[in-house]
Every structure is written in C-alpha cells, then in structure tokens.
Amino acid sequence: MSIAKAATKATPYVFVGPAMLLLIAFGVLPLLVALVVSFTDMDISGLANWSNIGFAGTANYERLFADPDFGQAFGNTVFFALIGVPSVVIVSLAVALLLARSNSRFFRALRAFYFIPAITGIVAIALVWGYLYNTQFGLFNWLLSLVGLPPVQWLSDPLLAKFSVAFVAIWRGTGLNIIIFLAALQGVPKEYREAAALDGAGSWRTTWSVVIPLLRFAILFVTVTTVIAWLQFFDEPFVLTDGGPLGATTSMSIFLYKEGFRLNQFGYASAGSVVLFIVIALVTALQLRSRRADVEY
C-alpha cells in the first residue's frame, strides 16, 4: 500500500490512460451508440446527414422478432454453438493431454502442427478450403470417388454446408485452446500424479480423477471464451458461403453484417446487435454462476 503513497496520484492514470481511452472509444462507446441507434430508423441518408435520423421507438425490435430471416439466423447460431463448442473443447483438451504426455523433442515439434490453423488468416484458410471443397476439381470429392462414393455438394447443399463450415471453424478453433491447456498443464504439480500413481492409479485414472479436476479453471476459461466465439460465429461462413445456400449458414453476426453494411439498415442492424450482446451476456453469466456453485462444494 505504501506504493500508492509514494507514487504521485496521477501516475496510475497516466499508465492506464491510453489503453482505457482506446478501449472505451472502440469497445464501450460503440455499445452505447448501438443501443441508441437501435431505437432510430438510421440508414445511409442518416449517415450523411444526422437530421435525417428519426426516432423509431421499439419498431426495430418488433420487426426483428417477426423477421423469419432473423429467426433462421438465431437457430443457425444455436446449431453451430451446439456442434462447435463441445467439439472444440473436447478435441483441444484431449490433444493437449496427449501432447503433455512427454516432453521429448518429437512431442514438442508436433505441437507446432496443431497451432498452425489458429494463427492463419481467415481469408487464406477460405481459399485453401474452398479449393479442397471444390465440386469440380476439389480433393475431397476425388477422395470420395476413391472409395466409390458419389461427389458431394460440400458448400451448396443446405444441410451439408452447415457441417462443412463448422468443420473448418473447429479445425481452426482448437489451436489457441490447446496452447492454453498446455500452459495450464505445466502448472499441475508432478507430485500429484506421482502420488496417484503410487496409490495404484493407471494413467487414464490419474488423468480423469487428478489432472482434469486441477484444470477446472482453464476448462471454464476455454469453455466461456469458446461459447462467446461461437455465438459470434462470423468468419468461416462469411468467406466460404457468404451465409448461403438459402441462408443455411447465416449466423446472427452474418445477418447483422448484411443488414448493416449491405442494406445500410443501421438502426435495424443495431437492434440485432443489442439482442446478440444480451444473449452472449446472459449465456456467459449463466456459465460463470453454475461453475461457481460447482466450485464451492
């Protein structure tokens, strides 16, 4: 506490100032702007001249909940989250546990391969996967033909497109989480495992009953951030299918982008943004609360 006394009062504000100003300008303020704009009929003419903006009350929200396209986007987002979150969390935890089995040069070299998708730009990923999924000269359909299966419309069949797009996102989403789990595993004291092993627990049993409970915080962190990421699902459908075919891969974020930037319906899209934010905040709060009850046995 004597630090605070010794330092002049302004010092901490100088340290947090630049970052907080930017964070407020581009994180917090936009949310408030979205809230305000969501009660107006702002469109492209309002962007040019603010006097063209009119108060719209809750009209945007009423229209939103009656809009079948928004309903479909909402349903798609839930579908994506239900497939994506468990896949990403389980795959990255499993891979991290296996990678942490040994510290040999070989295992450490393998790690890098699993990180590659996470650090690659989405557009490059879209180009490569678009090429692999291509129906005329793509590799995947050729692989299917090798085992005698007919070609498949990876990105133009409405149901299959959902899975194709989600698969790319799962492939890309595991890398960072593997890093986080590996880092957390370094914090598991070796003595715990050895004690469990001395008590006769096999490696499977040790992992399940000793290591995984110790990773509780990392698992919570990864689950919460992964849920948020999938509720915001945007990149993969945006570049691979542009939300198609027939809106089958239109997530809430894609819907917002189209309404906002293609149709210039800023007021309407902002109302959608506010709804999306509330959904994310509620889901996150629910997760944190259920886990807290879990920890305080």
Partner 1 sequence: MSSTETPTLVIPEPQPASPPTLPLRPSLSPRGRARRGTGVTVLVALALAAGALITAFPFAWMLFSSVKPQSESIDYPPKLFADQPTLEYYVRLFTELDFDRYLVNTLIVVLIGGFGLLFMAMAGYAFAKYDFRGKSGLFFLVLATLMIPVQVTMIPTYLILNGMKLTNTLVGIALPTLISGFGIFLFRQFMSTIPTELLEAARLDGASEFRIFATIVLPISKPILAVQAVLAFIGGWNSFLWPLIIASDQNLYTLSVGLALLNQQIAVNPSLQMAAACVQVVPILIVFLIFQRYVVQGFALSGLK
261-290 positions binding partner 1, by CB under 8 A: 261, 266, 269-270, 273-274, 276-277, 280-281, 284
212 binds partner 1 (CB under 8 A): no
Contact residue for partner 1 among 142, 208, 209, 294 (CB under 8 A): 142
- Using alpha carbons, select from 219, 217, 234 the residue that is nearest to residue 280: 234
- 102 φ, ψ to 5°? -140, 150
By CB under 8 A, which span of 55-63, 76-84, 98-106, 158-166 interacts with partner 1? 98-106
Residue 131: which H helix or E strand, with range?
helix 122-133
Measured at the alpha carbon of residue 269, what is the angle toward residues 263 and 270, in degrees to the nearest 5? 140
114 binds partner 1 (CB under 8 A): yes
Contact residue for partner 1 among 44, 82, 139, 246 (CB under 8 A): 139
**Nearest approach, Cβ of residue 238 and partner 1 (Å):** 9
By CB under 8 A, which span of 56-64, 69-77, 183-191, 289-297 interacts with partner 1? 183-191
Cβ contact 207:97 at 8 Å: yes
Footprint of partner 1 on 228-267 (CB under 8 A): 228, 231-232, 234-235, 239, 252-253, 256-257, 260-261, 266
215 binds partner 1 (CB under 8 A): yes
164 binds partner 1 (CB under 8 A): no
Residues paired with residue 40 on neighbouring β-strands, in sequence order: 55
Footprint of partner 1 on 48-87 (CB under 8 A): none
Cβ contact 45:52 at 8 Å: yes
Cβ contact 82:251 at 8 Å: no
150 binds partner 1 (CB under 8 A): no
Contact residue for partner 1 among 49, 55, 68, 106 (CB under 8 A): 106
209 binds partner 1 (CB under 8 A): no
Contact residue for partner 1 among 59, 72, 78, 115 (CB under 8 A): 115
Cβ closest to partner 1, residue 248 vs residue 268: 268
Q: How many residues bind partner 1 (CB under 8 A)?
A: 115
Measured at the alpha carbon of residue 185, what is the angle toward residues 179 and 187, in degrees to the nearest 5? 115
Q: What distance in Å separates the CA atoms of residue 144 and residue 153, rounded to the nearest whole number?
A: 12
- As to burial, measured by CB atoms within 10 angstroms (0-12 exposed, 13-18 middle, 19+ buried), residue 247 is middle
Residues 6+ apart with CB under 8 A from 155: 130, 133, 161, 164, 165, 240, 241, 245
**Nearest approach, Cβ of residue 162 and partner 1 (Å):** 19
